[in-house]
Structure 1
Amino acid sequence: MVACAKNMGVPCGSGMFGHALHAVACFSKEEIAARVDCLKNTFMWTDAEVAIAVSKAPLMLTRSKESMQRSSEFLISEVGLEPAYIARRPAVLTYSLKGRLRPRYYAVKFLKENGLLNHDRDYYSPVLVSNNDFMKKYICPHKEAAPHLAEDYAAACRGEVPARFIFA
């Protein structure tokens, strides 16, 4: 297992090594190879991009093919991220699409569309912060200008898409 984790490009001393061991313990070599191929096909990644992504977030190998497909469709088609961008920031694939990625995307897009946030703001930064920090940085400062934002964000986290989060 240690050799297999090392072959994934995760150094023994790194903080990700334990995660790599967990990922390889769950699957045979053949299953891991199939999951790597799935990542290449789903995200249109090169071998080098897969290696970068897996070395940074080895637990993504434990996600289902369907989950990866839904994440790919959302991140590439709806958010507009380039596959190489995702490969360099694979932690985004470890978060819940329904509970984190979509709601935060909708909230930040709402803020941008209404001139409350700079349009050059990166998608990755709002995704990474804790929910408390997201609320402090992106929701609470706009209570007066967007009084329903907290309520709409909470609804989005429950899987609903509030009307104010629908953009033409």
Structure 2
Amino acid sequence: MIYSIFKNQVFIRNGSWIPPTCAKNASFLRIISALVVRYESGIAESRHWFKTSYLINTIGLSPQSAVSVSKKLHFETSKQPDTVISFLEKHGFSKAQIRNIIQRWPESLLCNPEKNLLPKLQFFYSRRISRFQLLRILAVNPSVFRTSLDNSIIPNFNSFKEFTGCDDDQVLLAYKNDSSILTRKFQSVFAPNLAILKESGVPESTIIVELVLHPRIFSVKPDKFRGIVEEVKKLGFDPSKRSFLTAVQAFLQLSKSTWERKIDLLKQWGWSNEEVVSAFEKYPKTMMFSEQKISAIMSLFVDKMGWKSSYIAKRPVLLAYNLERRIIPRCLVLQALLSKGLIQKFSLNFLVESTEKKFLQRFVIPYKDPYLLKLYEQKLGLPE
């Protein structure tokens, strides 16, 4: 508190004091207390406003983001934040990238850039990584700046590269997908799980590709990882095929409750237990799509187009395609052809899965109808 009561006297920090007769008055003390609290609150509010204003005007954060970030920082002048921003600009980070770094790591504004940031940047500069790619990835995932260079970054970088045989820029790509590639010990976290896959017959080439693209699935505890690998084997997945690791990824990413919700959802669309299992075995990503995506696509196929739910269950890859950019435009063209009696037989698989060129050659070009192409391009959002 700014004041204290001692031997019936009220002392203010600036050295003045209030005589005992006033200090004995309870009402007077309550007034003094209220004024002091208001005074201190005003100081705190002023400091908070300075930080928020700085984050908005200097860095370009939105007011909402600025308030959120300011709660994690304590600075009363712009000296240190200005030093950090100047350092990042000097090394080529754009204003948008600096803004991303601060939003993801607010404390960066208070670090010593020469000590905390420069050594990491110098290490990456020494590798065969393009400056453009380096800045872009570090702006998206600045976790490495908070990690020990000698104890973590360098040994993990070298271990990852030695195992995969990939280029330096691919190590950084893996880091972008999961920061633990460089922030957690590779030999104790990733290596045991990679060994489990090798023992199970997963080709090393497949492991390497997945490690770069989806490193997060390899960062769980080995006991849990081994249990899931064995479960996937029991379901009949072939370790030599890519779908094996996709199934492992699905089991790792989805909680039991999420599995149950998605199974219930598919049953609501008429799938049996056997069809759900069969669809997962054919295309493991089926269970990784959001419930909203599954419902939207099934509604279009079943409710609006009148196709049987069981057909989709036999061809679950149909759920993988983008609803707005592919499925809806193509279905509208098909409906137009059917309504005009221009087509009787068609393959749903070909309709959805074919390339753009093949789709146009099969469903648009032969009919020489300008309306079909215009309808299709409008739904794709292409200019007329």
Q: Shorter-chain-normalised TM-score: which range?
A: 0.7 to 0.9
Structure 2 unaligned residues grouped into runs of 5+: 1-227
The equivalent of 2:361 in structure 1 is 136
CA distance in 2, matches of 1:26, 1:52: 20
**Alignment of 1:150 onto 2:365:** no
**Match for residue 61 of structure 1?**
287
**Residue 232 of structure 2 is aligned to residue 5 of structure 1:** yes
Check whether the contact 1:98–1:158 (CA below 8 A) recurs between aligned residues.
no
| Matched residue, 1:91 | 317
- Tell me the CA shift for residue 129 of structure 1: 0.5
1:135 shift after superposition? 1.5
Q: CA deviation at 1:69?
A: 1.3
Return the structure number with greater relative CO, CA threshold 8 A, min gap 6: 1
Decide which of 331, 334, 337 is 1:108's aligned counterpart: 334
Structure with greater Cα Rg: 2
CA-CA distance at 1:30 after TM superposition: 4.1
**Structure 1 vs Structure 2 CA RMSD:** 2.2
Relative to 1, partners in 2 of residues 1:106 and 1:7: Cα closer, same or farther, differing over 3 Å? farther
Distance in 1, matches of 2:248 and 2:239, equals 10
Q: Distance in 2 between matches of 1:52 and 1:124?
A: 18
Q: Which runs of 5+ in 1 are unaligned?
A: 160-168
After superposition, give the CA deviation of every residue in 1:105-128 in whole Å (9 maximum; x if it has no partner): 1111212222322x1323232111
Cα distance change of structure 1 residues 8 and 29 upon mapping to structure 2, 3 Å threshold: farther
Match of 1:123 among 339, 348, 351: 348
The CA distance in 2 between the partners of 1:112 and 1:69, in whole Å, is 25
**Any idea what the Cα deviations from partners look like across 1:58-116, whole Å, max 9, x if unmatched?**
11211111221111211111111112111101111111111111111111121222232
Q: Does 1:16 align with 2:239?
A: no
Q: Is the 8 A contact 1:57 1:90 kept in 2?
A: yes
The two structures have a TM-score, normalised by structure 1, of 0.80
Matched residues, number: 155
Deviation at 1:154, TM superposition (A): 1.4
Contact 1:8/1:54 (8 A) holds in 2: no
The aligned residue for residue 162 of structure 1 is none
Matches within 5 A, 1:35-46: 35-41=262-268, 43-46=269-272
Alignment pair present for 1:79 and 2:305: yes
Secondary structure at 1:148 match in 2: helix
Name the SS of the counterpart of 1:115 in structure 2: coil
Q: Deviations over 1:128-150 (max 9, x none)?
A: 1111211222222222xx11321
Deviant stretches of 4+, over 4 Å: none
